Amino acid sequence: MLVTDARVRAAYAEGAGIYRILPAAVAIPENQDDVVALVRQARESHLALIPRGAGSGMPGGNVGNGVIVDLSARFSDLVVDPHGRTARAGASVTWAEVNAAAKPYGLRLPPDPSSGAFATSGGMVATNAAGPRTVRYGSLRPWVQALEIVEADGTARVVERGAARGKRFTLTPDTRHLVSRFPKTRKNSSGYALDRFAETGDEIDLLVGSEGTLAIVTAVHWRLDPIPPDVAGAALGFADLESMAEAVPYLVSLKPSALELLDESLLQFVPEAPKVACLLLVEFERESAAAARGVVGDAVRGLKQSVSHVETAVNRAGLEKLWSVRREASPALARLPPTQRSLQLIEDGCVPVDALGAYVAGLRAAADRRGIPVAIFGHAGDGHVHVNTLPDTTRDGWREALRGLFDEVTDLLIRLRGVPSGEHGVGRLRAGILERFYGPEVMQLFRDVKRAYDPLSIFNPGVIIPASDWSPVTALKVGAGAAAIPEDIATRLREVERSAAWATPKLELAH
């Protein structure tokens, strides 16, 4: 069951983030029974298991020096129940596949990760994934009706929303008050969701976002929603950061389905983009064409004193064209010169919406001080910002500059009452800073959760609960210290990264 071939291990040494860590072995289970057998073997042999979907996760939760458990292909069952408005999807089934199957019934899974073409159901549950439409529909957690899991003792069970039995962890009266210390951001994928768990008492709310550290998910039962009949939107450009930040609360008050930010630091890579300091892309879904067009008019009229660029779209085809600037940004970053790499080091911070302008300004200033170019974009309606650092890896001291930037942005997020991850998870990258955001007592609760579900720590050790030797910039995939792998596999992994071809079976890279 375990593959230890050196080339196969190398093919699984990287994900979409910044790390390269050679696993001890790779397992590709065919079904849930195989997962059960693998977990029991891991218990007996004290093996660490790293559950993995397509590998598109960025903070390092999909790589490690234990056994990679590849769930990206074989768990592909998909059944849509149009009457119950649900879909049962194996862990391998992508967001795009769920929506393609649901669309003939006029249904969809509304939260839409930007990686939805290849993001698997298991992977999305692992991080409580989100995307542009989270501003209206929330992250994926409330859309999960049930989970089929294998626990750390090898038990397979179904966890249904609202079920009272089977919980491994409970909050006591003495600890329940601690969750009030959680930052009040619109999105949060930083640590175990004890705040949500305290509200609902629902085990699903604790398992979603646990990043493969509590159980291995083999199938997800999704709740679906009707597709709104009409949509319209606008691209709104601003001459300065302050005008953009002031516009966001007004646009949020109009109940958009998406509100995206593209900063000039990213727009410079897209030749067709308007020459503005910031661009907001806003989408409105409504029950009629007139209502959708009307709210776009309200948005434009309400901001006429502050916008420097306006472009509108009154149907889905027009919106597709309008949003092309967003889709072209990532491929543009992939065309950087060989000496410059796009590294996702500070890529998922989320702050209260009223602190968005201060956060973007602070990011720009910190990057300038460290001499590291950055590309800034994100989900403005949620106060959620993605950042790609673009260091010249031939420059002396680039690694130290990255670490300094990481520390400075962490301080900034804490000052602004933010969280280090809005949708991508903590992974290995951010595990060591969680205590600074939550305090030692909540961090101890996180350890208690981990111990209750996984007392031997066989599931993804070092993720959420940091390893003793934690550092955000060790085991990088670039630079002189990168782990040695065959050159042809390194080239193929780089091409997967450049083209976002995460659906590529990793075994193909080894042959």
Tens of pLDDT, residues 365-399? 999 999 999 999 999 999 999 999 999 999 999 99
Higher pLDDT, 270 or 371: 371
Query: Which spans in 140-240 are helix H?
Result: 173-176, 194-200, 203-207
Q: What's the number of domains the chain is made of?
A: 1
Tell me if 24 is assigned to some domain.
Answer: no
pLDDT in the model for residue 118: 94
The rounded mean pLDDT for the chain is: 94
pLDDT in the model for residue 341: 87
Per-residue confidence band for 221, with pLDDT thresholds at 50, 70 and 90: very high
Tell me if 323 is assigned to some domain.
Answer: yes
pLDDT in the model for residue 51: 98
Q: What is the mean pLDDT of residues 112-139?
A: 94
Tell me if 300 is assigned to some domain.
Answer: yes
Smallest CA-to-CA distance from 465 within 474, 453, 473, 476 is with 453
Tokens of 83: 């009457």
Q: CA 169, 170, 172 angle in degrees (round to 5)?
A: 140
Domain with residue 314: its CATH number is 3.30.70.2190
Q: What is the mean pLDDT of residues 471-480?
A: 93
| 149 and 217 Cβ atoms separated by less than 8 Å | yes
Tell me if 281 is assigned to some domain.
Answer: yes
Tell me if 61 is assigned to some domain.
Answer: no
Residue 358 phi, psi (nearest 5): -65, -35
Tell me if 271 is assigned to some domain.
Answer: yes
Which of 41-50, 262-271, 465-474 shows the lowest mean pLDDT across its residues?
Answer: 262-271
Residue 334 has pLDDT above 80, yes or no: no
Tokens of 186: 């619109």
Tens of pLDDT, residues 339-368? 888 899 999 999 999 999 999 999 999 999
pLDDT in the model for residue 337: 83
Tell me if 482 is assigned to some domain.
Answer: no
Residue 328 has pLDDT above 90, yes or no: no
pLDDT in the model for residue 176: 87
Angle between helix 324-334 and helix 487-499 axes, rounded to 10 deg: 160
Q: What is the mean pLDDT of residues 17-30?
A: 97
Amino acid occupying residue 149: I
Residue 330 has pLDDT above 90, yes or no: no
pLDDT in the model for residue 174: 84
pLDDT in the model for residue 81: 98
Per-residue confidence band for 11, with pLDDT thresholds at 50, 70 and 90: very high
| 208 and 215 Cβ atoms separated by less than 8 Å | no
Per-residue confidence band for 32, with pLDDT thresholds at 50, 70 and 90: very high
Tell me if 479 is assigned to some domain.
Answer: no
User: Which residue range is the domain that position 246 belongs to?
Assistant: 230-334
pLDDT in the model for residue 152: 97
Higher pLDDT, 485 or 324: 485
pLDDT in the model for residue 467: 95
DSSP letters for 390-442 = --BTTSTTHHHHHHHHHHHHHHHHHHTT-BS-SSS--TTTSGGGHHHHH-HHH
For the chain, give the percent of residues with pLDDT over 90: 87
The secondary structure of residue 499, as a DSSP letter, is H
Per-residue confidence band for 246, with pLDDT thresholds at 50, 70 and 90: very high
